[in-house]
Amino acid sequence: MYRGTTPTLSIRANIDLSDWTVEVDIKGPSTLITKIGTDVTVEEDTRGCIVSTTLTQADTLSLSADSPAKVQLRAINDGVAIASSIAAISVEDVLRDGTIGGA
């Protein structure tokens, strides 16, 4: 993903999480972004579900191009908590820092 953009991250889960409280954590070297509630969508799939969340420009600008961002899905339902393995996503730099269309 590129800093200053609004990418949608999609994670395939092999179980149906439609009745779970689901969150997606994105961690950079000095920041932690947590997406929960209406910021996360869960769509049923033949193999479980797909969990998606869209990062804001501010979110991606808070990440560093010097190291990959780590991404993890966590969910809870009726006291049962689960977590996915941690995935790494490369973060690419942009020539001009700041939001697109901003000063």
The band of 2, judged by pLDDT with boundaries at 50, 70 and 90, is very high
Residue 5 corresponds to which tokens in the numbers above? Answer: 């953009």
The band of 45, judged by pLDDT with boundaries at 50, 70 and 90, is confident
Establish if 66 belongs to a structural domain: yes
Q: Which domain holds residue 43?
A: 8-89
Establish if 16 belongs to a structural domain: yes
Q: What is the pLDDT of residues 5-31, one digit of tens each?
A: 999 999 999 999 999 999 999 999 999
Establish if 62 belongs to a structural domain: yes
User: Strand locations in the chain, DSSP E?
Assistant: 8-13, 21-27, 32-36, 40-45, 48-54, 69-77, 80-83, 87-89
Establish if 95 belongs to a structural domain: no
Backbone angles phi, psi at 30, to 5 degrees: -135, 20
Total domains in the fold of the chain: 1
Establish if 100 belongs to a structural domain: no
Establish if 41 belongs to a structural domain: yes
pTM (2 d.p.)? 0.92
